[in-house]
Amino acid sequence: MKALRAAVWIAEVILAVFYATAGLLKMFVPMDELSTMIPWTGDYSEGFVRFTGLIDLLAAAGILLPDLLRIWTWMTILAALGSAMLQILAFGFHLWRGEFAILLINTTALVLSGFIIWGWAKTRSPPEQRPIRPRL
C-alpha cells in the first residue's frame, strides 16, 4: 500500500507540474510568442487563452495542494476528475483541429488523472472501515 501511495504522489507531482507549466505559459507569455509555442492560441482571443491558463493553474493547485497540506484531501480526487474531463475535451479539440502530435500529451495527462483517481480510492479507506480509536 505504501508503494501505491508513493506512486500516486509521484503522479500528482508530475500532473501538477504539467498543469502549472502550461498555465504559467498561457498566463504570462506574450501572445505572439505563445502562438509559436502553442499554435492553437493564435486562433483564439487573448482573454480565452489567459482563462485556459487560469484553469490550468487551478488544476495544478487542486491536484497537489490538498494532499500536500492535508486539508480537504478529498479535493484531490475532484481535481483529478476535473482534469480527466478537461483532457477528454482537449483530446476532442485537438483531434478536431488536426493537431495529432499533441494527442499523446492529452492521453498521458488523462492516464495520470485516472491513475490518481484509482490510486486515491485504493489507498483511502472509507469512514466505516477505519478502526475506532478509544477516547482517552
pLDDT of 62 reads: 95
Q: Does residue 27 fall inside a structural domain? A: yes
List, in order, residues 6 or more apart from 89 with CB less than 8 Å away.
none
pLDDT of 124 reads: 75
**Full domain range(s) for residue 45:** 2-125
3-state secondary structure 9-69: HHHHHHHHHHHHHHHHHHHHCCHHHHHHHCHHHHHCCHHHHHHHHHHHHHHHHHHHHHHHH
The three-class DSSP label of residue 6 is helix
pLDDT at 135 over 70: no
The pLDDT confidence band at residue 74, using thresholds 50, 70 and 90, is confident
pLDDT of 126 reads: 57
Q: Does residue 130 fall inside a structural domain? A: no
Q: Residues 1-21: pLDDT tens digits?
A: 789 989 999 999 999 999 999
Q: Does residue 131 fall inside a structural domain? A: no
Number of domains making up the chain: 1
